[in-house]
Structure 1
Amino acid sequence: MTTKVTRGRPVCEVKQAEQRAKLILAAKELLNIKSYSQITIRDIAAEANINSAMIKYYFGGKENLFVQLIQSLADEHFSQFENLGEHNKPLYLFICRFAEVLQTHPGFVHLLSEEVLNKTTPLAQAFMEAFPARVSKFLPQFIKQETGIEDSKKARLAAFQLITLLVSPYILKTLRQQAWGISDTEIQGEQWTKDLYQRFVFGLKESDINEVEF
């Protein structure tokens, strides 16, 4: 039995919201298995079972649809990050939860590696504002809280280093697997998270006490 594709512009606001949500979800699902450049408006419409004209009607085009997707992902996940300062080990919890986002949302990594790095498009700008810019506001404070570092500049640089440590194994997937023989399972799970946390935090604390002489 063939499923009928929804056609026309729904008058009901609830129906419009449902269709917008379905299109965003379809884009999210496709991004988990394809790169942004490979996904077409027809692909999204077919995945959502909605007429492709609705993408232009609701979002103005493919790029703005993905901008909306980025914003919805950020809103979904950042509420769980920003309140971690209330815990004893906010940095460890951040590493655990951010690593989980990277593992369960491959589309996030696809966008970052293919459309954000070294580009200045509206999509790249939306990604920067939704994720890195927001992380930069609270992560340095977590580092101060958990390591005792008081220097704001040092905490900010350390926060950037931590994000690099978390993201690079996913962005450099081909290099990691082919040159180093490190599988996906080796960079996932509790043991990887604990090792990364301990090396990072203990390294920061040690460097804050004893500087290496050159």
Structure 2
Amino acid sequence: MSRGRPQNPEKQAQMTAALLDAAERLLDKKSYKSITIRELAAEAGTQSAMISYYFGNKEGLFLALLDRTGDMRQRRLQQVAVLLETQPDRVLAMLVETVSDIMTEEPWLIHLVKDEVLASEGRLREHFVKTFPVRIGHALLTMFSVLQQKGILRADMNPHFATASMVSLMAFPMIAEPLIQGVLGVDRQVLRSDAWKQHLTLLLTQGLGQQTPGEGKI
């Protein structure tokens, strides 16, 4: 890869992608605060000046990284939303599979959440809230509301509570992995497994799904 400033749009797109990819890889190994501009540039195979040229500074690079992954997650959730009209009974299972895959594919984001979003205030935290909880929470809330209207989910379910519950079920094991791995043996490999996805799907369908007559009676 050339270490100078690319001139054509295709090369520029490749350079920005390389810098964003480098930020992902480094964040999977180190904290945001400990990553330097020089490390980012070396990881991307370019010069430090390219970060200033394309993103303004290190923070700008990571804000752009949040935008990229937020857009990707939104597209994947939209693919699930298509099933609302054709196969609504599959939506919960597909939501679990999609969100589980997204979270385990991007451990760097969990590191950023623990180090920056939960621990301190700032532009990264503010941007994260707008990019993920707001956009993705709205998408989940909409899907739950539609499923309730279609009779897939129980009528007494609160869609807002259901959204919060699903996010908690999916995100907490990733954030608390160092704790539950040692105590319960639930590590990232388990969180990627079909068995874990089936477990979460069962919890959601049993808790949120429409009950059949006599179900739940002792």
Question: Unaligned regions of 5+ residues in structure 2, if any?
Answer: none
Structure 1 stretches of at least 4 aligned residues deviating more than 6 Å after TM superposition: none
The one of 164, 171, 187 aligned to 1:167: 171
* Counterparts of residues 108-147 of structure 1 (less than 5 Å): 108-144=109-145, 145=147, 146-147=152-153
The one of 161, 165, 184 aligned to 1:157: 161
Range that drifts further, 193-202 or 176-185: 176-185
Say yes or no: does 1:179 pair with 2:176: no
- Hey, what's the Cα distance between the residues in 1 that align with 2:155 and 2:80? 18
The one of 196, 205, 208 aligned to 1:204: 208
Q: Is the 8 A contact 1:92 1:197 kept in 2?
A: yes
Range that drifts further, 73-82 or 63-72: 73-82
| 1:56-95 deviation line (CA, Å, top 9, x unaligned) | 1221110110000111112123112024233222221111
Q: Is the 8 A contact 1:143 1:155 kept in 2?
A: yes
Q: Which residue of 2 aligns with 1:99?
A: 100
Letter of the 1:71 partner, please give it: D
Letter of the 1:107 partner, please give it: W
- Hey, what's the Cα distance between the residues in 1 that align with 2:124 and 2:160? 25
| Percent of pairs with identical residues | 29
Range that drifts further, 167-176 or 129-138: 129-138
Letter of the 2:104 partner, please give it: Q
Q: Which residue of 1 aligns with 2:3?
A: 6
Q: Is the 8 A contact 1:96 1:193 kept in 2?
A: yes
The one of 35, 40, 44 aligned to 1:39: 35
Q: Is the 8 A contact 2:66 2:128 kept in 1?
A: yes
- Hey, what's the Cα distance between the residues in 1 that align with 2:207 and 2:10? 52
Number of equivalences? 204
- Hey, what's the Cα distance between the residues in 1 that align with 2:23 and 2:191? 27
- Hey, what's the Cα distance between the residues in 1 that align with 2:169 and 2:41? 36
Q: Is the 8 A contact 1:143 1:149 kept in 2?
A: no
| 1:4-48 deviation line (CA, Å, top 9, x unaligned) | 8714x4444443333222211211222222222221111110011
Structure 1 pair 191–180 and aligned structure 2 pair: CA distance change class (3 A): closer
Say yes or no: does 1:194 pair with 2:194: no
- CA shift, 1:172, in A, is 0.5
Q: Which residue of 2 aligns with 1:53?
A: 49
The one of 66, 70, 75 aligned to 1:70: 66
Question: Unaligned regions of 5+ residues in structure 1, if any?
Answer: none
Q: Which residue of 2 aligns with 1:30?
A: 26
- Hey, what's the Cα distance between the residues in 2 that align with 1:192 and 1:132? 23
Q: TM-score, normalised by structure 1?
A: 0.84
Letter of the 2:27 partner, please give it: L
Letter of the 2:67 partner, please give it: Q
